[in-house]
Amino acid sequence: MSSRNEEARNLSVVKQYLKAFGSGNPDEMANHLAENAVFEIPGPKNSAYSKHIVGKRSIHEFYAKRQETRGKFIKSTAVKPRFITGKNAVIAEWTVSGYTRDGEKFESRGTNHFTLNREGKIKKVSIFINAPLSSDVRSLAERRLMVSDQGQLALMAWSVV
């Protein structure tokens, strides 16, 4: 496969993965993951924001559990992704805005870095987030009601048109 075709395929895979995320479909998300995939939100060890999960099944379980809290803490009003592609990598740069459950407006920016294998499966997702600092989001993080609290809040808002 030519490098250009590989980039186009990989971008398509990432967009499908993010669309599945936006619609709350962890089964479809898992279809795009390699068996030994790694999901990470880098940060201080044992913080509410960092996460490191290895294996397609474990990543699926993580997202399936997150669906239980989907929409309870924020309502996103806009997501603006921009994609950068390379031979085996796709970067999704995004801004999400919306409201916390207490009505406070927030905006968060970040990037998702995807590495894909030769078969077009996602083998690594690294997420870097400039999370909102609203009082509602801070209190969630402090009480650890959600794994990856602020980061996950931003991620839950994904919707790829």
Its pTM stands at: 0.75
Q: How many domains does the chain have?
A: 1
Per the domain annotation, does 134 fall within a domain?
A: yes
Residue 114 to residue 120: CA distance in whole angstroms: 11
Q: Which one is predicted more confidently, 146 or 54?
A: 54
Q: Which one is predicted more confidently, 158 or 95?
A: 95
Would you say 32 and 12 are in contact if contact means Cβ atoms under 8 Å apart?
A: no
Per the domain annotation, does 87 fall within a domain?
A: yes
The enclosing domain of 82 has a CATH number of: 3.10.450.50
9-61 pLDDT, tens digit per residue, is 999 999 999 888 877 888 999 999 999 999 998 877 766 667 889 999 999 99
Would you say residue 79 has pLDDT above 60? yes
pLDDT score recorded for residue 108? 78
Per the domain annotation, does 161 fall within a domain?
A: no
What domain range is 73 assigned to? 3-156
Residue 151 to residue 34: CA distance in whole angstroms: 23
Structure-derived torsion over alpha carbons of residues 72, 61, 83, 159, reported in degrees to the nearest 10: -30
Distance, C-alpha 70 to centroid of its chain: 13
Per the domain annotation, does 105 fall within a domain?
A: yes
Residue 88 to residue 124: CA distance in whole angstroms: 11
Per the domain annotation, does 16 fall within a domain?
A: yes
97-138 pLDDT, tens digit per residue, is 777 777 777 777 889 999 999 999 999 999 888 765 444 444
Residue 114 to residue 126: CA distance in whole angstroms: 7
3-class DSSP state of 37 = strand
